[in-house]
Amino acid sequence: MRPARALIDLDALRHNYCLARELDGGKALAVVKADAYGHGAVACARALEGEADGFAVACIEEALELRRAGIEAPILLLEGFFEADELALIQAHGLWTAVASWWQLEAIERAALERPLQCWLKLDSGMHRLGFDPRDYAAAFARLSAVPQVDKVVLMTHFARADELDSPRSAEQGAVFAQAAAGLPAESSLCNSPALLGWPQLCSDWVRPGLMLYGATPFDRTQPQAQRLRPVMAAESKIISVRELGAGEPVGYGGRFVTARPTRVGVVAFGYADGYPQQAPDGTPVSIDGRPGRLIGRVSMDMLTVDLTDHPEAGLGSRVQLWGDEVDVAALATHCGTSAYELLCHLKRVPRVYKG
Ligand SMILES: *Cc1c(COP(=O)(O)O)cnc(C)c1O
């Protein structure tokens, strides 16, 4: 069998969820959209089900996958519904829906709702993506609350720059929210992972941690709370071939890397079709049998190459970690000009092996 795999540590996932709740002190929806950022939504939701106050996903397809797997906890659709006829399924499966635009609100007013419906009314506090204009927010709240079957409305907004710890933007968005929500009798939900870790004063009744659950920091610098996270995924494979080359030899496609000295090259069964960034430059950190090593040569679809010259004990069958507890996924992302979010979500083809 091909040795590439993603080890998923569910104890670490629970640890990170508990940290999110401890930092905030309130209730936390575990965000498991995009197949739990590549970790497997059903397995992660099952692992958290005893603990979590609920889950959040991007769309009804993702919510139904969880319901089909027997997850009974509340599930919030972060973008609400895309078509009005989803409301029947939302009702049938007891889902919570975001309401972010007038057409969604009007669809709820028109629908023949048979059961109580919980809605999360989204304010655009400055990200300018989804949500109601602050000037319309109180009116939208009043109309939604007036729908007989709408039994609870939670106020919600989303930060655009909470990962920028020096930016005044999150505090400004918080102030816009506070003003638009003033006097509205409802719980509220503001914080994603970077806000929860970096701007705890902005957290309210509900937080919505995603990335941090998976143990990756959203920041580009050391941050005390983020240091308490435990990585959940370890992407690993093995060395399947070793080459001894003299100086001046090219390695891989395009001959991007040329040996400057006699070099032992290890070929690892993991490539960009598994989700490793193809743009990773020479020198990108890897871990070889638990010791720091480096990538050399262009990443191929199914393989990549590492420098074994300073790893005399390593050889055929040696374990190589691409990211995980030995190679920080956020640092790897920075190295490759991408984000931890994208790296984790891009995992594919590789079997996931769960423990804990
Ligand atoms: C994805 C998402 C989150 C989670 O964000 P992280 O940065 O991964 O914690 C929270 N809220 C909304 C509305 C989202 O779309």
Extract the tokens encoding 144. 């939604």
- Catalytically active residues, by annotation: 33, 253
**CA of residue 291 to ligand 1 center, whole Å:** 34
Taking the CA of residue 58 as reference, the ligand 1 atom at the shortest distance is 15
User: Which residues does a 6 A CB cutoff place in the pocket of ligand 1?
Assistant: 31, 33, 78, 158, 192-194, 208-212, 218
- Of the candidates 319, 329, 351, 335, the one whose C-alpha atom is nearest the C-alpha of residue 230 is 329
Domain boundaries in the chain? Answer: 10-216, 233-327
* Fold for the domain defined by 10-216: TIM Barrel (3.20.20)
Say if CB 113 and CB 147 are below 8 A apart: yes
Residues 128-177 have pLDDT tens digits of 999 999 999 999 999 999 999 999 999 999 999 999 999 999 999 999 99
What are the b/e assignments for 6-20, b being 16+ CB within 10 Å?
bbbbbebbbbbbebb
Q: Whose CA is nearest to atom 15 of ligand 1?
A: 78
**CA of residue 310 to ligand 1 center, whole Å:** 41
**Residue 309 confidence (pLDDT):** 98
Extract the tokens encoding 112. 């023949």
Extract the tokens encoding 251. 């390695």
- Of the candidates 296, 264, 343, the one whose C-alpha atom is nearest the C-alpha of residue 6 is 343
**Residue 32 confidence (pLDDT):** 98
Q: Which of 39, 55, 78, 123 to mutate to test the pocket of ligand 1 (most atoms within 8 A of CB)?
A: 78
Say if CB 295 and CB 305 are below 8 A apart: yes
Taking the CA of residue 341 as reference, the ligand 1 atom at the shortest distance is 8
**CA of residue 213 to ligand 1 center, whole Å:** 11
Taking the CA of residue 209 as reference, the ligand 1 atom at the shortest distance is 9
The rounded distance, in Å, linking the Cα atoms of 146 and 205 is 23
H-only helix segments in 183-262: 193-198
User: Three-state secondary structure along 173-204?
Assistant: HHHHHHHHHCCCCCCEECCCHHHHHHCHHHCC
Q: Rounded to whole angstroms, what are the CA distances from 211 to 100, 156, 163, 217, 291? A: 23, 19, 12, 7, 26
User: Could you tell me the sign of the dihedral formed by the alpha carbons of 339, 331, 324, 223, in that order?
Assistant: negative
The rounded distance, in Å, linking the Cα atoms of 317 and 289 is 10
Q: Which of 120, 192, 202, 203 to mutate to test the pocket of ligand 1 (most atoms within 8 A of CB)?
A: 192
DSSP state of 212: G
Taking the CA of residue 208 as reference, the ligand 1 atom at the shortest distance is 10
**CA of residue 14 to ligand 1 center, whole Å:** 18
- Of the candidates 53, 55, 37, the one whose C-alpha atom is nearest the C-alpha of residue 45 is 55
**Residue 212 confidence (pLDDT):** 98
Extract the tokens encoding 207. 């937080």
Write out residues in the chain with pLDDT < 70, as ranges: none
Determine phi and psi for 117, rounding to 5 degrees. -125, 130
Q: Whose CA is nearest to atom 4 of ligand 1?
A: 210
**Residue 24 confidence (pLDDT):** 85
Helix (H) or strand (E) holding 321: strand 319-323
Residues 165-210 have pLDDT tens digits of 999 999 999 999 999 999 999 999 999 999 999 999 999 999 999 9
**C-alpha distance across the termini of the chain, in Å:** 24
Q: Whose CA is nearest to atom 14 of ligand 1?
A: 78
**Residue 290 confidence (pLDDT):** 98
**Residue 235 confidence (pLDDT):** 98
**CA of residue 191 to ligand 1 center, whole Å:** 8
Q: Which CATH number describes the domain made up of 233-327?
A: 2.40.37.10
The rounded distance, in Å, linking the Cα atoms of 173 and 179 is 10
DSSP state of 290: T
